[in-house]
Amino acid sequence: MPVARPEPSDARVISHVDMDCFYVQVEQRKQPELRGLPTAVVQYNSWQGGGLIAVSYEARKYGVKRSMRGDEAKKVCPQIHLVQVPVARGKADLNLYRNAGSEVVSILSRKGRCERASIDEVYLDLTDAAETMLSENPPEMLEAVDDEVLKSHVLGLDEDEGKEVENVREWFCRSSAEHRDKLLACGAIIVADLRMQVFKETQFTCSAGIAHNKMLAKLASGMNKPAQQTVVPLSSVEGLLASLPIKKMKQLGGKLGNSLQSDLGVNTVSDLLQFPEEKLQERYGINTGTWLWNISRGISGDEVEGRILPKSHGCGKNFPGPQALRKITSVQRWLNDLCEELSERLQSDLVQNKRVAHTLTLHARAYKSNDSDSQRKFPSKSCPLRYGTAKIQEDALKLFNSALRDFLGSHRSETLGNQNNGWGVTALSVSASKILAAPPGTGSILRFFHSCEPSSSSSKQNFSEIIQDSAPLSPSGSLSSSGLNQAEPQKRSTAEETQINCGTSTLNQDEQKRESSNYKGRCSILGFLKGSKPSCSSSKHEGAEIAQEALPVPPSGIDYCTEHNPGLPLKRSPEEENIVSQPSSDHSQQRREMWTYRVDEIDPSVIDELPPEIQEEVRGWLRPLKRANPVKRGSSITNYYLPSRKK
Ligand code: DCP
């Protein structure tokens, strides 16, 4: 449900920064010889070369798309380099990408409040930094404007052929500009500098939108990719939104957007503009009505949340078709692996960020092959989270058994066991949520791991015991998600603190500052790319064409693949199709059953890590009967708002 928040001021400076073909860049940094070459990252899978989940801009020029299988990509671009997603414990291991995303966040968060919106995108509130720049060092006083700034795209600017750079320079340096435009100009200079820092320190390029609110910044960031930024002055908002299809707006991809289309005949934002606020309130309620009225005018009060760490951790794995798990022992084996990974991530979150998760949740999808009620949802179960791999594994199995009993019905509890009694598990995930700062003084993090108690034999064990004691799992199997009592705090010694801090620090701030001060100058990211790899596209025209290709609508018969990439559309192998069909005899019905997964059956923490529009797509794919117009990621703006300025 959207929330109508009054815009605090139209002079805020908000940026949305999105990494370019992120997983590809991470892999190219690992293998620099791939830089500038057509490259794609593939989810491991033996069928037809696996599914593509990230495609370099060089490969996109050949028509390679994210929906393709590896073999298909090879056909359209024989020279493409396919890199496999790392695999650990039999499933995709995204730590490499997560950590790379964290590196970027640590740089982008230097100038203002930063919200990590997904694995590869952030929002920044740069209002204070822009105000400071405007009062101390306004753009009109700058002796030279950086090339990266001059490459900005300013919406609504006169686009005289050959004069683009001059026009942009003039816009940035106008002394007569309104205060809010001057602030935006300062914000854009700051963002260009941050993007340069990101490039310098991580070798990754990113694109950005700079506007007065999150919604507009997000719309703009995808308009000119890769490695470019787009500014949205207030005077250009109407032009930006006018022809925007309503379903492309955030939160209008689903039911509400459908209703606007079918009930009110609203297809574009300008159609929506025709409706008075009262009319929209009458139809959709006060809050939603006002929200609709606001967004059609580019008004959005959403604040940038100061959050750079994930809200939850999740590990999941799909077992499609023949891989469905049919024995408790198989479930247990996989749960052990998933819990081991979850435990590792919890421990590093604890050490690095001093955060403790409080709730463990198990989600699964399952079928009952001999049951007419085979679409019945496999219930998710939660319990207080106890630290320590063995404890998590033990609790996850209890949660699974409890859920399976509910799923099969109490009279069927005798069917639990190792023989195949007609149930199969097609997806399993465990997640840790309610992550809070370890209460101050609650004992040192080290106490959790390296107890000071002489009697303790194992530090990890000690930590897990503390949690266990305070948060026992009900022996009756009645599982709840209530919070847990923290263990009695113990004082941390300075030495311990220091040690912890050393352990946490992934970036040396002093070194970074030194590096960045060495990196003043007029070079631009695109300049770097051009200089080093002639094959890398840097033209605006190419960027726009490229952006239209990303993530097309999945054709029917395509399954999604989770393992942290639930958005990945994968065609099912014929083998998988057969087995998946077992629960029902009617083929069309079988396919429908496969497709009518409820979103809440998928581990939300897994989905939440993906870019929001990918999440929308995933939800569309999971409920295909409702997916009237799945969002075409990346194409959104360029499709209907092609900048008229030519390079
Ligand atoms: N991702 C995934 N499965 C999907 C979509 C994306 O695993 N179905 C991963 C791989 C991407 C990363 O998330 O590199 C970020 O997704 P984006 O949608 O931001 O796309 P890219 O960064 O790859 O490309 P672009 O430059 O178009 O943003």
Contact 49, 67 (CB under 8 A): no
User: Measured from the CB, is residue 633 less than 6 Å from ligand 1?
Assistant: yes
Q: What are phi and psi of 116, to 5 degrees?
A: -80, 110
Cα separation values, 573 from 123, 405, 526, 578, 579, Å: 39, 31, 41, 9, 10
Q: Where is pLDDT greater, at 86 or 634?
A: 86
CA of 54 relative to ligand 1 center, distance in Å: 5
- CA-proximal residue: ligand 1, atom 16 (nearest): 611
Tracing tokens 């694109």 back to the chain, one arrives at: 207
CA of 95 relative to ligand 1 center, distance in Å: 15
CA of 334 relative to ligand 1 center, distance in Å: 27
Coil, helix or strand at residue 487? coil
Q: Kindly state the percentage of the chain with pLDDT values over 90.
A: 53
Q: Where is pLDDT greater, at 620 or 430?
A: 430
Distance CA 261, CA 267 (A): 6
- CA-proximal residue: ligand 1, atom 24 (nearest): 21
User: Measured from the CB, is residue 23 less than 6 Å from ligand 1?
Assistant: yes
pLDDT computed for residue 89 by the predictor: 85
Tracing tokens 């959005």 back to the chain, one arrives at: 300
CA of 27 relative to ligand 1 center, distance in Å: 13
Q: Which atom of ligand 1 is nearest to the CA of 547?
A: 27
Nearest to 217 by CA among 91, 95, 304: 304
Contact 341, 89 (CB under 8 A): yes
pLDDT computed for residue 8 by the predictor: 77
Q: Where is pLDDT greater, at 115 or 487?
A: 115
Ligand 1: which of 20, 21, 121, 230 to mutate, most ligand atoms within 8 Å of CB? Answer: 21
User: Measured from the CB, is residue 19 less than 6 Å from ligand 1?
Assistant: yes
Distance CA 168, CA 181 (A): 13
472 pLDDT above the threshold of 70? no
Q: Kindly state the percentage of the chain with pLDDT values over 70.
A: 65
Ligand 1: which of 24, 52, 53, 91 to mutate, most ligand atoms within 8 Å of CB? Answer: 53
Q: Where is pLDDT greater, at 81 or 515?
A: 81
CA of 596 relative to ligand 1 center, distance in Å: 25
Mean pLDDT of the chain, nearest integer: 74
| Residues belonging to the active site | 121
Rounded to an integer, the average pLDDT of 399-421 is 72
Rounded to an integer, the average pLDDT of 435-456 is 56
566 pLDDT above the threshold of 50? no
pLDDT in tens, 369-395: 766 555 678 999 999 999 999 999 999
User: Measured from the CB, is residue 134 less than 6 Å from ligand 1?
Assistant: no
397 pLDDT above the threshold of 70? yes
494 pLDDT above the threshold of 70? no
CA angle 616–234–134, rounded 5-degree value: 110
Contact 616, 631 (CB under 8 A): yes
CA of 53 relative to ligand 1 center, distance in Å: 7
Q: Where is pLDDT greater, at 599 or 135?
A: 135
Ligand 1: which of 98, 120, 609, 615 to mutate, most ligand atoms within 8 Å of CB? Answer: 120
Distance CA 128, CA 10 (A): 14
pLDDT computed for residue 408 by the predictor: 86
- Identify the band that residue 428 occupies on the pLDDT scale cut at 50, 70 and 90: very high
**Stated length of the chain:** 647
507 pLDDT above the threshold of 70? no
Q: Where is pLDDT greater, at 465 or 44?
A: 44
SS (H, E, C) 540-567: HHHHHHHHCCCCCCCCCCEEEECCCCCC
Contact 177, 11 (CB under 8 A): no
Tell me: cis bond preceding 226? Omega within 30 of 0 counts.
Answer: yes
pLDDT computed for residue 310 by the predictor: 87
User: Measured from the CB, is residue 53 less than 6 Å from ligand 1?
Assistant: yes
User: Measured from the CB, is residue 152 less than 6 Å from ligand 1?
Assistant: no
Q: Which atom of ligand 1 is nearest to the CA of 57?
A: 26
357 pLDDT above the threshold of 60? yes
- Identify the band that residue 187 occupies on the pLDDT scale cut at 50, 70 and 90: very high
Q: Which atom of ligand 1 is nearest to the CA of 225?
A: 26
CA of 21 relative to ligand 1 center, distance in Å: 6
- The DSSP bridge pattern shows strands 121-125 and 14-19 to be antiparallel
Cα separation values, 28 from 52, 56, 332, 429, 611, Å: 15, 10, 37, 30, 21
547 pLDDT above the threshold of 90? no
pLDDT computed for residue 550 by the predictor: 25
CA-based max dimension of the chain: 80
User: Measured from the CB, is residue 97 less than 6 Å from ligand 1?
Assistant: no
pLDDT in tens, 233-289: 999 999 999 889 999 888 898 899 999 999 999 999 999 999 999 999 999 999 999
Tracing tokens 């108690």 back to the chain, one arrives at: 453
pLDDT computed for residue 582 by the predictor: 32
- Identify the band that residue 563 occupies on the pLDDT scale cut at 50, 70 and 90: very low
User: Measured from the CB, is residue 567 less than 6 Å from ligand 1?
Assistant: yes
Distance CA 84, CA 563 (A): 14
CA of 78 relative to ligand 1 center, distance in Å: 22
Distance CA 597, CA 375 (A): 9
User: Measured from the CB, is residue 22 less than 6 Å from ligand 1?
Assistant: yes
- CA-proximal residue: ligand 1, atom 7 (nearest): 565
User: Measured from the CB, is residue 20 less than 6 Å from ligand 1?
Assistant: yes
CA of 296 relative to ligand 1 center, distance in Å: 28
- CA-proximal residue: ligand 1, atom 13 (nearest): 610
User: Measured from the CB, is residue 18 less than 6 Å from ligand 1?
Assistant: yes
Q: Which atom of ligand 1 is nearest to the CA of 565?
A: 7
pLDDT in tens, 188-207: 999 999 999 999 999 999 99
pLDDT in tens, 318-356: 898 888 999 999 999 999 999 999 999 999 999 989 999
